[in-house]
Structure 1
Amino acid sequence: MKFALATPALNTYPAAMAPWEPKAGGPEILRYARKADSLSWDWLTLPEHLVMPTEMAEHMGSRWAESITAAATLMGATERIHMLTYILPLPYRHPLLLAKQIATMEFLAGGRFTLGTAVGHLEKEFEVLGVPFNKRGAMTDEYLAAIKVAWTSDKPEFEGEFVRFKDITIEPKPIQKPHPPIFIGGNSKAAMKRAAEHGDGWIPWLVTSEELPDCIAYMKSLPAYAAKADRFEILVTTTAYQVEDYSHAESGATQIAGDRDSVLREIESLRKAGATSVQVMPPRVETLEESLDWIEWYDQEIIPQFR
């Protein structure tokens, strides 16, 4: 099993944030990242929305980081741990710009980046950015293909409906070969198909350990999955969100296990269901110090049980 650690204070998502996060800033986030880097966590996860529609702020919070800037900052502040965007809506950026941003970070930091991406879901966000919401699926598929060409070809050329380029060079190339891993988020069959065809992993949302095996079985039934079966990551959050899909309105109290027995049972249940990685959020403790103590405790008491 691999372990991804949620980075606090980059968003203020009401269902799960700890009391200390709204007043936290750069110094606290950097201290947290460096602590995780000194331990054995595999990734730090970085959330993203570029704007938050006013009508969604009550349920989703108003603070959401831009994940590429966050990744670059935290990669510069750490030495070992990898960054994972969780989740970057792909249609918001031109694929050549995103490919260049990621390759530059990779080049400077010696790899250490995984692109967690999806089609996006906030229609108002698409509207203000001038991106067609009803074409987001087709754009995502095309952008994924274009990014891979930019990362891997010495003479990149691409001809699509939304992006075209030729007679260009793009360097530096990423350190990770053939390219940085790409994990696709989303629960629909279209998202799972996209993960099997274009991705190196899948990040579900609001999928339980009981539902996970059927989802994995569907992806395994797709022809594209077979070639990557031995390296495909299935990364599931351990946070039991009690929110409505899309609206994010709370339907109950979100549960974040914090004691040893509960955490061990939770991870084992997900592993048996087919997860290869988990995303972990510290419980809603009162202070940064308590959060730092908890991620060190988890590193010592939980992660070794699943390596």
Structure 2
Amino acid sequence: MRFTVEHPVGRPGCVPALYSPAGPAAFARAAEEAGFDAVAFTEHPAPSAKWYRAGGHATLDPLAALAFCAAATERIRLLTYLLVLPYYNPLALAKTVATVDLLSAGRLVLGAGGGYLRSEFTAVGAGFAERGELFDEALGVLRSVWATEEFSFAGRGFTAHGQVSTPAPVQRPCPPVWIGGNGRVARRRVARAGQGWAPLLIGEELAATTRTTPLETVAELAAAIRELAGLAEAQGRDPAGIDVQVQSAQSDLSEQGAPAAGHDGHLAELAVAGVTWFVVRTPATSLEAATDALARYGADVISRHRTDPPTEGRKR
């Protein structure tokens, strides 16, 4: 098992110190020192006030925040969790992705999702009904644009006539793509073109809110991972080369930085199911509380459960 920590900017009561200039750098350094393998930021560029008041959360721009963290660290991977590909012109996104990967010496992991907030799609000028097609199109561009000296493509809302995107990222043909979503469509996308799957262990209510499929038990997750393996093999791919990262109710640490009861058993059960990465979320009441939680989790949990030590600039 390897471990991702999501920056707590979106957690209730998050203090400004965690997203002031010193905060993200100190958080990322503490995560690296504690033995975490990746630091993550999520995205919502223009959510509605209705969503925010109903329990939504604040965000930073994930690629900008990860670039900031890259300058403060040396080893830890940098994960967008999740970047909504349909929001972007794929060529403009390719430039930012390549820049972050270059400046981090090949540490970017592109966690990607299709999005679920209809009002946010409208606000950024993206077609909600087309989000699946837009996702696939953007992923195809990202996997192709650096493979040729002149890129040509007629897309939805843009046309490339011999464009260039240089310099290319360190990780070729593209930084690893981990695709979010609990359903079979997401697993089929992973089997075709992804290097990782990032489901959530959630019930029906939250699944309905995020427009995905419920995955309520580890047994259900294990069955889905077995299905993913079969889909990958049908594509001529080795399932062992595909990571599975999970977030569950056990991801949230207490205000004192402790995991919930039964945490060790939960991690062991996930590992048997085929999970390779686990997401952790720290307290947000102070920068000290967050960094103390990272150190405690590293000493008490990561040191005993990691099966694959962190590597520099790991590439798939």
TM-score, scaled relative to structure 1? 0.86
Match of 2:244 among 225, 234, 255: 234
Match of 1:78 in 2: 73
The amino acid across from 1:300 in the alignment is A
Aligned residue among 21, 28, 32 for 2:27: 32
Question: Residues 24 and 5 from structure 1, CA distance in 2 versus in 1: closer, same or farther, beyond 3 angstroms?
Answer: closer
Shift of 1:74: 1.4
Instruction: Report Cα offsets for 1:244-291 as digits up to 9, x if no partner.
Output: xxxxxxxxxx88692486321121111112111111112x47433232
Matches within 5 A, 1:1-307: 1-9=1-9, 11-12=10-11, 17=12, 19-21=13-15, 24-26=18-20, 27-205=22-200, 206=202, 207=215, 208-222=217-231, 223=233, 226-240=236-250, 258-259=258-259, 262-282=262-282, 284=283, 286-306=285-305, 307=307
Contact 1:260 1:302 in 2 (8 A): no
For 1:180 and 1:126, the matched residues in 2 are separated by 25
Structure 1 residues 60, 69: closer, same or farther in 2, change over 3 A? farther
Deviation at 1:225, TM superposition (A): 5.1
Give distance in 1, aligned partners of 2:272 and 2:90: 37
1:251 aligned residue: none
Instruction: Give 3-state SS (helix, strand or coil) of 1:86's partner.
Output: strand
Question: SS at 2:246's partner residue?
Answer: strand
| Residue 21 of structure 1, CA deviation | 3.5
Moved more, 295-304 or 44-53: 295-304
Q: Tell me the residue number matched to 2:206.
A: none
For 1:189, the aligned partner's letter is R
Change in CA separation of 1:24 and 1:109 when aligned onto 2, cut-off 3 Å: closer
Given the superposition, is the C-alpha separation of residues 54 and 34 from structure 1 closer, same or farther in structure 2, using an over 3 Å criterion? same
Task: Report the CA distance shift for 1:218/1:163 in structure 2 as closer, same or farther (over 3 A).
Answer: farther
Shift in Å, 1:157: 2.9
Contact 2:25 2:69 in 1 (8 A): yes
CA RMSD of aligned residues (A): 2.3
CA deviation after TM superposition for structure 1 residue 48, in Å: 0.4
Segments of 5+ residues of structure 2 without an aligned counterpart are 203-214, 308-316
Q: Is the 8 A contact 1:149 1:157 kept in 2?
A: no
User: Residues 81-121 of structure 1: CA distance to partner in whole angstroms, max 9, x if unpaired?
Assistant: 11101111101111111111010111122011000011100
1:248 alignment partner in structure 2: none
Other structure's SS at 1:221 match: helix
Instruction: Report the CA distance shift for 1:79/1:72 in structure 2 as closer, same or farther (over 3 A).
Output: same
> Could you say which residue in structure 2 is the equivalent of 1:246?
none
Q: Unaligned regions of 5+ residues in structure 1, if any?
A: 242-253
Q: Normalising by structure 2, report the TM-score.
A: 0.83
Q: Which amino acid aligns with 1:305?
A: R
CA–CA separation in structure 2 for the residues paired with 1:116 and 1:82: 12
1:182-214 residue CA offsets vs partner (Å, 9 max, x unmatched): 000011211121121121111112233121112
SS at match of 1:171: coil
1:36-83 Cα offsets, whole Å, 9 max, x none, are 122321110111001121211123335222111111111122222111
Q: Any idea what SS the aligned residue of 2:96 has?
A: helix
Cα–Cα, structure 1 residues 236 and 225, in superposed 2: closer, same or farther, change >3 Å? farther
